[in-house]
Structures are given as structure tokens and as C-alpha cells.
Structure 1
Amino acid sequence: MATIFTTWQGVKARMGVAQRQARRGNGAVHLLAVSKTFPAASVRELYALGQRAFGENYVQELVSKAAELADLDEIEWHFIGPLQSNKTRPVAEIASWVHTVDRLKIAERLSVQRRETTPPLNVCIQVNVSGEASKSGVAPTEAAALVRAVARLPRLRVRGLMCIPEPTGDDERLAAQFATLRGLKEQLEREGIALDTLSMGMSSDLEIAIREGATMVRVGTALFGARN
């Protein structure tokens, strides 16, 4: 059975190859270890190897792991799941990043509930690049307006865009969805909105995402194994 060191090194090697093939510098893409459903002990083990950024999908799991791992001074929690308006407070208080802002109401609550004594909360606007009715995320045509509105809120810092593409075995279709997100970022930059993050790509498609401009890949299965 592969150790966490072996899987971590394997993911980092995949990322390195993808960055070189895309003619992007080493370190252009950051690894977010998605630890949802895995115990705090697994997070602690990966942290000991040097990983610092961890992603959680569920509010209660974020709260419990953050409490259990409070002694890890440099840990950086990213919330990457759907966020209901009645559950924003613990996320605003604990997380360093929220990747799934798709409505102004959620951003407004995060802004109000973020403590003034902590650094601004980094946020990404989630965009529904596949057009699936079941997917969260703002429509691509509405993303720019939401970015501008969220950027005006105090105690938040809009860092970029995030997407979860339609699961498909068609690499060209995946690439096109990632390219849609990259195009939106480039459009916003031309309009004077500085963004530095494209949160896209997971265990199965991180190479395609990196080729299309990802700056952060969200990897769980390839690091921790299959979930129950």
C-alpha cells in the first residue's frame, strides 16, 4: 500500500511534468490537498511532509479538524464545498480561502462575519462552466458582475475563479471548459480587475487543467486514496 509520502511525491511529480510541458515555471501551480472524509491524523501526516494548504467540503468537518489540528501553526484551510447562508460564520472565522462563492448574499455574510483582527478572507468566484443545472456556480455571462460586487466588500479579497467541470472522458471537452474559465479571468484582467488564481483541476484531470492555466489544483484521491 502506498504511503502518503509516495502519493504526495507522485502528485508533485505529475504537476512538475505538466508545468514543463505547458512551458510554465516550476511553482506556477499550487497543490491543495483535499482532505474531506479523511481523518485529522492523515492531515497531520501530510503536514509533517511540508504540505500546508488543505481543502474541506463540509462545514462541520472543517470545524472539527481545525480544532483538532489547532497546534499546526502554518496550516491553511480552504473551503471548497457548497456553502449555505446559515453556515457561513464558522467558515468566515476559520478558513483562509473560500473557493465556492457563487452569490452576493454568501459573500456579504462572509464579509460581515470575518473578524477585523484576521487577514482578509481570500475568495474565488465559482463559475458553472459546463452549464449543468445540477452544478453550483454563477453563469459565465454573470461572473464579471459578481466579481466586481464582491471586490467592493470589506474583509474579503477576490483572488480568482474556480470551476468543477462536467465529468467526462472527453479531454477536448474538459479542456474547453477549463479554457472558458481562463478566458473569463483574462477578460476581467483587461477590464482592470487583478486576479491571480484559477482553481481548477483534480486528481484525474490536473494535467489538462495545468495546460489550460490552472494556478491551483484540488487533489484528494490521488493523495489519500479512494473515499468510502
Structure 2
Amino acid sequence: MDTALADRLAAVDERIRDAARVAHRDVADITRIVVTKFHPAALVAELHALGVRDVGENRQQELTAKRAELAGIPDLTWHFIGQAQTNKARAVRAAADAVHSVDRARIADALDAADGAAPLDVLLQVNLTDDTGRGGVTPEGVEELAAHVAGRPSLRLRGVMAVAPLDEEPARAFERLRACADAVRAVVPDARWISAGMTGDFPEAIAMGATHLRIGSAITGPRPARD
């Protein structure tokens, strides 16, 4: 077992507990997702042995391959957090337990058409920047997209996801995301997930109500060099 990995995981979990205490929140209401992009499946197995049960992947091919390789490991929840593409919807649906990046009606329709043995948990990705070329529905479009997703029978709308812009205080960005979460709950009252906060800004996300944190290198260490 990699003791450095265990130490990094413990350090992050302590920071999560501290941030939850400062925000007067129950840490049990916060799910820590370890993002394992470009790391081998063996690292996911090590994380599982350390108690990790939620892992995140940005790329469909990597998600599919790792889930297949680790099929014998029980109770792992796989979160797809990368940009979703309609032509990969079936493969994403087959490998993911939750998709955090539904940002338009077409991807919701494609995931719904792929169908599965169980409902698929999905979140609306919100674009908190002024760059319309970035992934994510605009805050103004959240309610309309929420209503559309709610009408897809095999999808279960859980909440919202976003990345804080680099040129803005994270707390301000996450405050806007929380307003989007309120708008989604006006459509689907039990859509209470807020997926926000990464290595550099998760305390601010916790203060603004994040329920799911997406943390990578602070736990996994540097990503391996790619060929």
C-alpha cells in the first residue's frame, strides 16, 4: 500500500472536516469524489482499500476501461465529470452511475435513449463564465433544462455542477451556483446535489452548500506522463 497516498487522502479529509465545521455543516452530508484521470486502475483499487467509494473520470474511454478492469470490486460509484458528447452517450451510460455534465437537451435525450437497467443520476452543468464557448448551460437556462431533463423517464435529476472561473473569487461563483441549485429545486424539489469544489477551492464550495467535491491531484498526486 502506498503510504503517501494514504497520507494525502487523510490530509484532504481533515481539511474537508475543518471546512464543514467552519460552515456549521455535517460532514456526513458531503461526498468526496476522487478524480483519477490518467491514473491506472490499480490506483483506484488502492483508493478503494483506503475506504474511497466515489471516483470520477473525465474521459469516456478511461471510465469504460477502468470500470471493466475493476468489475470485481464492490460498491464503487463511478462519476462521469467530463464534457458529455451525444455520440458517446450510450458508452457513458453503460459505465457511469452518475453524470455531472448534462448541459443541453440533446445530451439528456441521448442518455435517456441509451436507457439502462436502473435510472441514471444526472446533474446540470452550469457555465459560470461569460465565455459561451465553454461547456454548461447558462444560469438563465437552468430551469428550462431542468424541466426537460425531468421529463426524461430514465434519468433522475439530482442537482447542479460547475467549475469556478479562474478570474473570480470562488465564493462568489459558488454563490451563483447555489442560486441555480435553488432554481432547479423549484422544478425538482429533491434535486439537492451541488457538485462544486476542487483541490484549490473546496472549502469555499463547502461554505456555499456543496454536497459533492471533485478532488484529484491533492489525493492522487501528479498525473502520470502520457505517451
Contact kept in structure 2, 1:54 and 1:77, CA below 8 Å: yes
User: Residue 164 of structure 2 aligns to which amino acid in structure 1?
Assistant: P
Which runs of structure 2 are paired with 1:18-29 in the superposition (5 Å)? 18-29=19-30
User: Residue 92 of structure 1 aligns to which amino acid in structure 2?
Assistant: R
Q: 1:176 to 1:45 in 2, by over 3 A?
A: same
- Name the counterpart of 2:86: 85
* Separation of aligned partners in 1, 2:106 and 2:132: 20
Q: 1:192 to 1:126 in 2, by over 3 A?
A: closer
SS of structure 2 residue aligned to 1:77: strand
The normalised TM-score by structure 1 is: 0.93
Which shows bigger deviation, 203-212 or 133-142?
A: 133-142
Question: Displacement, 1:189?
Answer: 2.7
What percent of counterpart residues are identical?
38
Contact kept in structure 2, 1:120 and 1:155, CA below 8 Å: yes
Contact kept in structure 2, 1:103 and 1:138, CA below 8 Å: yes
- Name the counterpart of 1:211: 207
- Name the counterpart of 2:118: 119
- Name the counterpart of 2:175: 179
Contact kept in structure 2, 1:77 and 1:97, CA below 8 Å: yes
- Name the counterpart of 1:143: 142
* Separation of aligned partners in 2, 1:93 and 1:55: 15
Structure 1 residue runs of 4 or more that deviate by more than 6 Å after TM superposition: none
- Name the counterpart of 2:193: 197
* Separation of aligned partners in 2, 1:195 and 1:178: 17
* Separation of aligned partners in 2, 1:135 and 1:164: 11
- Name the counterpart of 2:12: 11
* Separation of aligned partners in 2, 1:59 and 1:66: 11
Spell out, residue by residue over 1:127-179, the C-alpha distance to the aligned partner (whole angstroms, 9 max, x if none).
001222342000000011001110110111000000011124x5xx2111101
* Separation of aligned partners in 2, 1:141 and 1:18: 30
Query: How many residues in Structure 1 have an aligned counterpart in Structure 2?
Result: 223
- Name the counterpart of 2:67: 66
* Separation of aligned partners in 2, 1:2 and 1:175: 33
Question: Displacement, 1:77?
Answer: 0.7
Superposition RMSD in Å: 1.5
SS of structure 2 residue aligned to 1:209: helix
Contact kept in structure 1, 2:85 and 2:107, CA below 8 Å: yes
Question: Displacement, 1:193?
Answer: 3.2
User: Residue 127 of structure 2 aligns to which amino acid in structure 1?
Assistant: N
* Separation of aligned partners in 2, 1:22 and 1:48: 30
**Structure 2: tracts of 5 or more residues without a match:** none
Contact kept in structure 2, 1:188 and 1:194, CA below 8 Å: no
Q: 1:61 to 1:191 in 2, by over 3 A?
A: closer
**Structure 1: tracts of 5 or more residues without a match:** none
The normalised TM-score by structure 2 is: 0.94
* Separation of aligned partners in 2, 1:129 and 1:84: 20
Contact kept in structure 2, 1:132 and 1:166, CA below 8 Å: no
- Name the counterpart of 2:132: 133
